[in-house]
Structures are given as C-alpha cells and as structure tokens.
Amino acid sequence: MIKKRRIPRLLQLVLIVAGVYFGFILTFDVILGQLIPKSLLTMYMFFVITGVLMVFTFTEESTRELIDPIKALVEDPSKKVLRNIVFVIVPLLAGIYTYSSLLPSFEAPVELRTIHPAPPSKMKAYGKRFDLATLENPYRKYEKEDPDKFRELVREGGDVYIKGCQYCHGDKLDGKGPYAAGLNPTPLNFQDVGTIAQLQESYIFWRIATGGPGLPAEAAPWISSMPIWEDFLSEDETWKVILFLYDYTGHQPRSWEHE
C-alpha cells in the first residue's frame, strides 16, 4: 500500500469551512451586490459546520484523525511553545467576538428581496381570471398587420405613461423619475437589459395590474411603491402602456416562440 501524502484532516476541515464562508460573502456582496445579513450568514454557517463535522466524524478512524492533532497539542510536552501561543490567542478571540457582538449596532438592517419573483400561474384582475401561461397582448399583432394602427396604440400608451408612470420610472424610462430618489426600493429602469427585456408581456401585465401589493412575500410587497394600476387604468390602457414601454426602449418582449 502506498501512503499518499495528504493534507491533515483538521486542516481540511478548516479549509472547507473557510472556503464556504468566503464563498458566501463573495457571491452575495460582490457578485449579487447585496450585503448578506449577519443573521442569515450565521444560520448558513451553522448548517455547513454541522454538515462537515458529520462527514468528518463518520468513522471512528476519521474521528481520531481529526482529534489527534488537538490532543497532541494539549498533551505533548514538546509542543509547549505552540500550546502557550494557542492558549493566549483562543481566549482573546472569544473575548473580542463577545465584545463586538454585544456592542449595540447602529447599522440599519439589510433587506433582501427578489426583484423578479416567479409569477403566479393565474391572476385575478378586473373581476376576471387570467391564465398567465397563455395570456398575450391583444394589440401586439398590429405591429406587423397594421403598422399605422400600431403607432396610434403606442402613442396612446405613451400618454398613459406620462400621466401615470414618469414620476417614478422617469420620462426617459431609466428609473430616475423626479420622485425616484425618495423611494426604496427604487423604481425599475426599463432601459436596462435586466428588466422588461427579459420578461414576457403577461408578466408585465401582472406587475402593472397588481402592483407592489400583488408581489409574493419574497419580493417584500410591503415596501414596493409600485401602485396597483387595476384601480386607475382599464385593461386596454394597461396593454397599450406595455406596447409603449417596449417601443420607447427598443426592447422586444420575450415570447414562447423565441425559445
């Protein structure tokens, strides 16, 4: 049997846990650009550590491999210097952790929300039920069939937009309307490729008709200032304003055909 040189089990364990920890921080803070809340991180790390410990102590032998270096540190007289160092550092670290976690926090709690949650399969609006899987913009067909009529519809949609939406989403549809700075979450930017360009018209219809309060819990409906437009716009007007959103930004709605 050839004995492979390998990383000590204890070091492996520490490396895996540290790797996962920094992985979380990297994906949330850097890639997703949202600070991960401390409580959430603590919870994730709790599961990760228990999981890893369970794997590493699966057999008696592996448990021993894990514990032996620790035992040696405490018991082996030849490791006295290292022992003294560790015995000073560990209590100090515990002290610092206690101190910092007991200090009152003055940072506002971070709120995570999903910007584009999965839509329901069916929705209710205008006293009717809509099946979002098959729902289509009844005016979209005129884009090819009757361009003049289509222009007129876009125009009417623009009027709806200026009277109802520009305050927040902006005259340039860039999410920077005159009142946007006073709202959190900020109104979405339709020029961006990450919003309406990725969505189907039925999704937009759902969002406009039911507004912020129509969102599912993961999208924090209680803070979104997006109004419930069913209360102010007719069904027709909603479809027209959708035509305008795509026309003005030059985006195409996603459709089943394209996939």
Return the range that interacts with ligand HEC (CB under 6 A); candidates 16-24, 30-38, 44-52, 224-232: 224-232
Asked if residue 49 binds another protein (CB under 8 A), the reply is no
Asked if residue 98 binds another protein (CB under 8 A), the reply is yes
* Helical pair 38-56 and 9-25, crossing angle rounded to 10 deg: 150
Return the range that interacts with ligand HEC (CB under 6 A); candidates 13-21, 39-47, 57-65, 191-199: 191-199
Residues present in the chain in total? 259
Asked if residue 41 binds another protein (CB under 8 A), the reply is no
Under DSSP, the state recorded for 140 is T
The only residue of 41, 174, 227, 236 in contact with ligand HEC, by rule CB under 6 A: 227
Q: Quick one: what does residue 104 bind among another protein, ligand HEC, none, with the CB cut-off 5 to 8 Å set by partner type?
A: another protein
Return the range that interacts with another protein (CB under 8 A); candidates 4-12, 15-23, 75-83, 124-132: 75-83
Rounded to whole angstroms, the Cα distance separating 178 from 10 reads: 58
Look up residue 209 and give its two tokens.
Answer: 């008709």
Rounded to whole angstroms, the Cα distance separating 21 from 14 reads: 11
Q: 133: which residues sit within 8 A by CB, 6+ positions away? A: 121, 202
Rounded to whole angstroms, the Cα distance separating 102 from 211 reads: 40
DSSP E strands in 66-191: the ranges are 122-125, 128-131
Binding residues for another protein, per CB under 8 A? 74-75, 77, 83, 87, 90-92, 94-96, 98-99, 102-104, 106, 108-109, 111-112, 158-159, 161-163, 166-168, 170-172, 174, 176, 178-179, 181-184, 191, 213, 217, 220-223, 225, 227-228, 231, 248
